[in-house]
Amino acid sequence: MELLASWHQSITSSWQNLTRIIQPLAFAAIVGFACNWLGVPVAWLLGPLLVGITYACIQDNPKPLPSDFIKVGKAIIGLYSASRFSPDTLMLATTHAIPVILCILGTGALSMFNGYLLYKWGGVNKLTSFLGAIPGSATTLAIMSEEYGAEPITVTVLQYIRMVVVVLTIPTTVTLLFPNNVVEPIMTAQSTVNDSTVSIFLNLPVLAGCCILGILLGKWLKLPTTGFLGAFLVGLLLFWNLPGLFFVPHWLWVFALMLVGLSIGWRFNLQAVRQLWQAVLLEIILVIVLMLSCLVIGYQFHLITKIDLITAILGFTPGGLEAMIATANQLGGNTGMVLAVQITRQMLILLGLYLFGFTQNRSTKQSET
């Protein structure tokens, strides 16, 4: 009887955990489908994002979805981005390396100024405000903040608010600015499928293996944007060495956006936002100003390099990598170029933080000596 009771308790607990995961996924799918039917930009990302935020707000003590969900979603998006990242795109980014670096430095300087204003007006200490205002890998910056003596919770909230504002506004704004450029993503995704591609029964296991390998590679190399960059690098090896054989189905791309959107939304912490309401309100205003400034920078980059305006704007938008790639795909922009610019900015930011941490540790050791 005790053994049966133990089994019953274990099965009940497992069923409750499974229900806790399946229910929001079902709602996210329904809302995503409805948003897509209504023509909402990047519907399969924004719809689940709103579902996640709603769940996080109505629950007293919300438990986030397993971290593997967002890792898998980002890994699939990494594979998709690799399938769209050609050697020609890499050459194009290299050709315009100087304008890219200058524009990245411009957006970085504006972000630092935002951090300074948060420090002066938002009641946040200097280091925390700067780390919270940096556009880049939000999770990595939140983890690194504790090492530098900043407040991890505040950095996480500020990064989250910036990311949500960008994801909710930029796709809609760019779609309204370029309504004639909107294309059906499914047509773009299926255009890569031809008679020479492998069977779906071989394609899916290979993609799954690349996702797993990419996540493990990302952990081993300690890459930012967990799951994305590792899968992207593995995907490049696959798609560049075996061109035309493997592809990322549209439904898998949709599923990845849904996982990422739902996971990001579920991390919303209403209590932390209430405690930091003054800094959060100021951050929202500053992010909007920053986005407008990045639109100007993107336009100037377009005039200098003659790269299409959609790609230029999305490339320099401060954060929301997955949303920018999805928007570029929907509007017919160069997703590879957007990815190249966004990743270059992340790498430069993380390199700067690494040098800052190295200098800080060295000065600490000298003072102790």
Confidence of residue 186 (pLDDT cuts 50, 70, 90): very low
Q: What mean pLDDT is reported for the chain?
A: 80
Q: Is the pLDDT of residue 358 over 50?
A: no
Q: Which pLDDT score, from 0 to 100, does residue 359 have? A: 54
Give the closest residue to 134 by CA, choosing from 146, 122, 123, 142.
Answer: 142
- The mean pLDDT value for 47-53 works out to 89
pTM across the whole model: 0.77
Confidence of residue 18 (pLDDT cuts 50, 70, 90): low
Place of tokens 């160069």: 334
Q: Which pLDDT score, from 0 to 100, does residue 188 have? A: 40
CATH number corresponding to 2-368: 1.20.1530
Q: Is 36 exposed, middle or buried (0-12, 13-18, 19+ CB in 10 A)?
A: middle
Q: Is the pLDDT of residue 24 over 70?
A: yes
Integer-rounded Cα Rg, in Å, for the chain is 21
- The mean pLDDT value for 64-82 works out to 85
Give residue limits of the domains in the chain: 2-368
Angle at 229 between CA 97 and CA 109, to 5 degrees: 45
Q: Which pLDDT score, from 0 to 100, does residue 57 have? A: 84
Q: Is the pLDDT of residue 350 over 70?
A: no
Q: Is the pLDDT of residue 249 over 50?
A: yes
Q: Which pLDDT score, from 0 to 100, does residue 210 have? A: 93
Q: Is the pLDDT of residue 362 over 80?
A: no
